[in-house]
Every structure is written in structure tokens, then in C-alpha cells.
Amino acid sequence: MFYGSVAWDPWLIVAQIVCLQCLYYLTLGVFLSILVGTRVSKMSLVYFFDYATVTSSTVTGWCVMASFFFTSIAGAGFLVYLVERAKKCLDFSATIYLIHLFICIIYGGWPSSITWWVVNLTCLAVMSLLGEYLCMKRELREIPISRYRSSMLFFFFFCRILSFYTIFFLMNLILIVLTK
């Protein structure tokens, strides 16, 4: 979608980062509203950006962690369509989580929970590795040739072979006539 022929296009890179970041938070919001919204009385940005909500001691904390994991899997799919290159997946994934870290620092201070770090680093690894795998799989797909094109290709090779044999036959005929 965004991959162009120009090697260095900073506006393209910024647009990809903005799109991926927006899709990341949109997907995280959907998963948080499904998994956490049913458990709490009021949803807020605390579940997005506060490191204290990412905990393994409560069911709500496990739901928050599951939301982050599902978002990283969806993010890998977003990388396939927005970045389209396997070698760029780690860069864009790290950028998403680095921006998320900065927003979390601004919102609630430095994340001091080891669970927050484990969850986010694992999600970063899942997003980048799964994104690279999916991008490589997409890059290595065969290019489909339409039925019309393949039949025309066959016809072209058939005509080449036929013309080669026709020329060979005519040369033999000329040689036979000349030798008599």
C-alpha cells in the first residue's frame, strides 16, 4: 500500500508510523473494551497507559495482558499491509512500542513493574517476528499468470519451435534440390 519505488521518503515513513500507531491503539481499545470493559464499571486511559494495570495478580490484569498480546498479533497483520517489507518490520514494531513507552512515561511515570516490561517486550517480539514471517511469506508468493497469458505464452513457444522446424525443413529441401 505505502511501499513505493523511492528508497528514502521521510513523509512515507512518518505516514506509516502514524498509521501503525493509530491502528495499534484502535485495536488495543477494541480488545480492552471486549476483555476488560466487561469486567470493570468504567473504562479509562488507565488501562492503556498505566503500568500498574498490567499485573498477573488479578483477572482484570490478565485481561489487560491478553489485550496487549492480541493487539501485537493484529499489529503483525498491519505490518504486512502497511510496511510490506520483512526487513522493516523490527524497525516499525520497535518504533510503535518506543512511542508507547514515552506515552506511558508521560501518563504515569517510569514503568517500574517487571510484568509491564515482560509483556511489552514479548509483544514487541511477537509483532516483529510474526510480521517478518508474514511479510516474507507474502514476498515469496508466486506471481500468478492469467490463463490467457499462459496460453499465449504456450502459443508463442509453439510458434517458435514450429518456425525452427519449418526453417530446418526448408533448408534441407533447398540442399536436396541443389545437390540433384
Encoded amino acid at 166, one letter = T
Contact in structure between 35 and 67 (CB atoms under 8 Å): yes
Contact in structure between 88 and 34 (CB atoms under 8 Å): no
Integer Cα distance of 131 and 31 in angstroms = 19
Contact in structure between 128 and 93 (CB atoms under 8 Å): yes
Residue ranges in the chain modelled with pLDDT below 50: 1
Name every residue whose Cβ is closer than 8 Å to that of residue 170 and which is 6 or more positions away in sequence: none
* pLDDT number for residue 29: 94
Integer Cα distance of 176 and 170 in angstroms = 10
* pLDDT number for residue 137: 92
Cβ atoms within 10 Å, residue 76: 21
Contact in structure between 55 and 115 (CB atoms under 8 Å): yes
* pLDDT number for residue 141: 84
Integer Cα distance of 58 and 169 in angstroms = 87
* pLDDT number for residue 164: 60
HSE toward the beta carbon, residue 142, CA cutoff 13 A:
3
